Amino acid sequence: MQRRDFLRFTALMPLAAMSLRVSAGSILSGTPIERVPDGQLHRFELSAQHFLLDGKPFQIRSGEMHPIRIPAEYWRHRIRMAKAMGLNTISLYVMWNALESEPAVFDLTSGNRDFIRFIKLCAEEGMWVYLRPGPYCCAEWDYGGLPPYLLRNPSIRIRDKDDADYMRAVARYFDTIAPHIKPLMAINGGPILMLQVENEYASFGKDLGYLEQLKSMWQARGIDGPFSISDGLGQLQKADTYLKGAALGLDGDTDFKAGQAIAGDAPVWVGEGYPGWLTHWGEPDFQTADYTATLQQLLDAGRSFNLYVVHGGTNFGFGAGANASGDGSKFEPVITSYDYGAPINESGSPTSAYHRFRDAIGKSVGDSLPAIPASPKMAKWPAITPRPWASLWDNLPAARRVDQPQPNELLFAQDHGMVLYRKSLPAGHVLEVNDVHDYATVFTDGRYLDAISRVDKPGLPTKTQIELPESAAKTGCVLDILVDSFGHVGYGHDTTDRKGLTGSVTLDKQVLNAWDAYSIPLDAAYMRELKPSRSFDRPGIFFRAALHLDEAHDSYVDMSAWNKGYLWVNGHLLGRYWHVGPQQRLYCPASWFRRGDNEMIVLDMHHTEAALIRGVTSLQG
């Protein structure tokens, strides 16, 4: 059973079974204290199966949220929401690839990348921090947080201490962030209680030496723990990769007795407890879960826990990752929303689960909780119809000649977006396009023929063979294969999920050679250089509209009338939309709108005529 399936199963395990397992490992031993970060030095320790803060038992009541998925102006609001629910700690991943876009090119301050400021806000709000800096995080984020530039190396072996290129990149990352993290450790007067060494490594490998080396690398940079690991219990038992002396976080499990048999005297806690779940494109509905009874049992037992996630936020831009089997099959890309069915929803409002959790935690700690912060205002706006503006076909860069199609990363050092593969075909009948990563539209002489989807869901075109029209079959034609990508696989053993065409193309079973390839990264530089077009006769059109707003508030942009593509608001890429659902609405924060006219740009892979766009106030409706 794959880890994601396994944890989904355990998260929804019948509560009677969960209750027995929780009570078997109860550790009630006095009332946990409630100290808050105050700028003073604090000693957080792992001792005798307990967490200790300044020598006294401490219960971590944590909720996970990721600053990269939250507009920076809402960071404080979301932290306050977690505190008002009764939590005392914020857990966060640091997505390496959000900070280092190119080798040695780091940005730790722009937009929502300034995770150090986020940690300081946690301290200001009286919240401790559990830091999970990777290098790998999973998190349904693109490539599990690893920088996709690693895939430009044809022989890269990620999460491998014996791959010198990978470990040099990790060292560069640690060198960059460690000086910022060190002063924020509790022992130095900051709010960070504990630092996780890697993430869910037992689901990937069996080299305990890799984890030991990462720990040593942190220590060499002045960060001496306490350290933790987090993993599925079954995977950890099989891989035998427990890092001695580290706190053991159980993901989707509450069998503390079995966990303690691995960890010895180190504390065992719920490293990830799932109040919701992730959703993939093409699933029938948004995924949910019910964690109320399990949370109550953890509170009754005095167990520390981390809710994954208390607030999910949004996979803005190209942030959404994907899952797949170890051989790359069963490819399942994650939707743009990371709402996750969390207690605090994508736009920052409390759900019914939030109120249930707040009631349970409030009764458990015996203290009055802070008032629930007001939710950000959501606004509707009337439907608008964009106009065709620029054709992708009129905005192609210079071609690169290649013998065989190759992935984006190897051809152009391109991490995301699209690649066009073009070739003049001889006469022939049956075209076969193999290994499309991840969605292709196919044209002959500018005429749309068909699409090919790597995502295998009902109603999607997954056949790789295409019959050419009679005229093209008899006389030949110009073939265009436009390949769009989803996020890189971020979990499991498919660690070389390169994008574009990764296999051969044949005509009547004969391999086709000599191609022209065009890079279409859809990044900010590409979008700035777009030139208007006069002809819009085939799909691949940028539509543009002006939306006038008297006031700027949060909104969801309803794209249900469109097919598949991307949406930009005032230059900000909200993310992907796709008619297969279940998501049809993209969240846009108030700060990305402005009073007056707003520019909205849609790139649709199938539409040649515009459709309606409207503003609504919820993800579902």
Which residues are known to be catalytic? 200, 272
User: In the structure encoding, which two tokens stand for residue 353, read together?
Assistant: 């689960």
Query: H or E stretch including 175?
Result: helix 164-181
**Quick one: CA torsion of 295, 296, 300, 306, rounded to 10 degrees?**
10
> From CA 458, how far away is CA 64, in angstroms rounded?
34
- What angle is formed at CA 295 by the lines to CA 290 and CA 301, rounded to 5 degrees? 155
DSSP 53-115: ETTEE---EEEE--GGGS-GGGHHHHHHHHHHTT--EEEEE--HHHHEEETTEE-SSSTT--H
Using CB atoms within 10 Å of the CB of residue 150, give its burial: 0 to 12 exposed, 13 to 18 middle, 19+ buried.
buried
Nearest to 97 by CA among 320, 314, 407: 320
User: In the structure encoding, which two tokens stand for residue 489, read together?
Assistant: 């696989």
Q: How many CB atoms are closer than 10 A to CB 485? A: 28
Q: How many CB atoms are closer than 10 A to CB 401? A: 8
3-state secondary structure 229-248: EEECHHHHHHHCCCCCCCEE
CB within 8 A of 470, min separation 6: which ones?
Answer: none
Query: H or E stretch including 511?
Result: strand 510-511
- The residues with which 555 forms a beta bridge, in sequence order, are 588
